[in-house]
A and B are shown apart, each in its own frame.
Chain A
């Protein structure tokens, strides 16, 4: 069964993350956690690609892409 989220991937740039916790607070599925003052995509399988983290991240450190790319960090 395919759905519209099949190709989407949640990516992050840990170098830019300042660990403010805004994305963690707004994530509705608790996909993200804070570890050692950085945001970590701890449970990528839970992500519903709502885009709240990307919308609210002040540092452009987390984003959703339409797939094909691997997380480099």
Chain B
């Protein structure tokens, strides 16, 4: 196949090119996941990629690992089962914004609360792309969508704050434009022993971009370039963060991990049985 070595190694090349629209940020973000896994040198057989339903959830179909395409919003429930059955696996969950925060909102907060060692990556394109551009829980207020022709009156979720509040032990955000930062966050998330939540701001030129007159894919990349500020910069100069999207590593605080705590219980039980 006519492609780069890294593509040949980690993708099911016979399934490419992927289904996403021209300029979709999901492809760029999927590449950051691949590069992070390559950088850490993880064995392909030890990696499981799980997804739900939506544009973003098509990603595992193209990635050559142990992959599972599950039901809408339930990717974390399936991933929890996989991790509990075999804690040695590196479990990665790829979800969209609607998948993770609307129908799967409860799974997200409870997986975070338990601090189970799953790396959750959300491809957030601010809209339900696959079903025709309905507004999602992360569509900004006053933005347009198929189901919000006069502007969205909802207030969007800050997914990173939600995950941190629910108990995730590693939280970060990057964008499709900030691909090297995204890769670094995924690497750190994979190394973190606990629930890691990484939000990747994606771009949907077909629905979100067109409805909101954001221009083509390059213009939307440029928007991220001009309107995102790293948390470290804002901590030094708070005025630089005004009306900007914050990116970077937000939180990293270890806590007891769920499968390890469960193993302690199993061992205690075995000891009791022996007596």
- Are A21 and B3 interface neighbours, CB within 8 A? no
Chain B residues with CB under 8 A of A49:
none
* A60 touching B3 in the complex, CB below 8 Å, given contacts A16-B17, A21-B23, A55-B179: yes
- Taking CB as reference atom, which chain A residue is nearest B177? A56
What is the bound-complex CA distance between A58 and B3, given in angstroms?
13
What is the bound-complex CA distance between A65 and B6, given in angstroms?
11
What is the bound-complex CA distance between A18 and B205, given in angstroms?
13
- Are A56 and B4 interface neighbours, CB within 8 A? no
- The residue in B5, B20, B22, B205 that gathers the most chain A C-beta atoms within 10 A of its C-beta is B22
Mask for B27-53, Cβ within 8 A of A = 1, else 0? 110010000000000000000000000
Interface residue stretch chosen among B114-122, B214-222, B259-267: B214-222
**B25 at the A interface (CB under 8 A):** yes
Query: Mind listing 30 A-B residue pairs with CB under 8 Å?
Result: A11-B4, A15-B2, A15-B17, A16-B17, A18-B17, A18-B22, A19-B22, A20-B22, A20-B216, A20-B217, A20-B218, A21-B216, A21-B218, A24-B218, A25-B221, A55-B28, A55-B31, A56-B177, A56-B179, A57-B28, A58-B23, A58-B26, A58-B27, A58-B28, A59-B27, A60-B3, A60-B27, A65-B4, A72-B2, A73-B2
Which chain B residues numbered 94 to 133 have a C-beta less than 8 Å away from chain A? none
Mask for A53-69, Cβ within 8 A of B = 1, else 0? 01111111101010000
- Taking CB as reference atom, which chain A residue is nearest B23? A20
The 6 closest A-B pairs by CB, nearest first: A58-B27, A25-B218, A20-B23, A63-B4, A18-B22, A20-B22
What is the bound-complex CA distance between A55 and B25, given in angstroms?
12
- Are A56 and B5 interface neighbours, CB within 8 A? no
- Taking CB as reference atom, which chain A residue is nearest B216? A21
- The residue in A21, A24, A56, A58 that gathers the most chain B C-beta atoms within 10 A of its C-beta is A58
- Are A59 and B17 interface neighbours, CB within 8 A? yes
- Are B24 and A60 interface neighbours, CB within 8 A? no
Chain B residues with CB under 8 A of A25:
218, 221-222
**B272 at the A interface (CB under 8 A):** no
* B17 → chain A closest CB, angstroms: 4
- Are A58 and B24 interface neighbours, CB within 8 A? yes
Which chain B residues numbered 190 to 221 have a C-beta less than 8 Å away from chain A? 205, 216-218, 221
Contacts A19-B22, A56-B221, A72-B2 known; list 14 others, CB within 8 Å: A11-B2, A15-B2, A15-B17, A16-B3, A21-B23, A54-B4, A55-B180, A56-B179, A57-B28, A58-B20, A60-B31, A61-B17, A63-B3, A63-B7
Mask for A20-32, Cβ within 8 A of B = 1, else 0? 1110111000000
Chain A residues with CB under 8 A of B20:
58
Chain A residues with CB under 8 A of B31:
55, 58, 60
**B18 at the A interface (CB under 8 A):** yes
Q: Which of B11, B25, B180, B222 makes the CB contact (< 8 A) with A58?
A: B25
Chain A residues with CB under 8 A of B222:
25
**B16 at the A interface (CB under 8 A):** yes
* B50 → chain A closest CB, angstroms: 22
Chain A residues with CB under 8 A of B17:
15-16, 18, 59, 61
Chain A residues with CB under 8 A of B22:
18-20
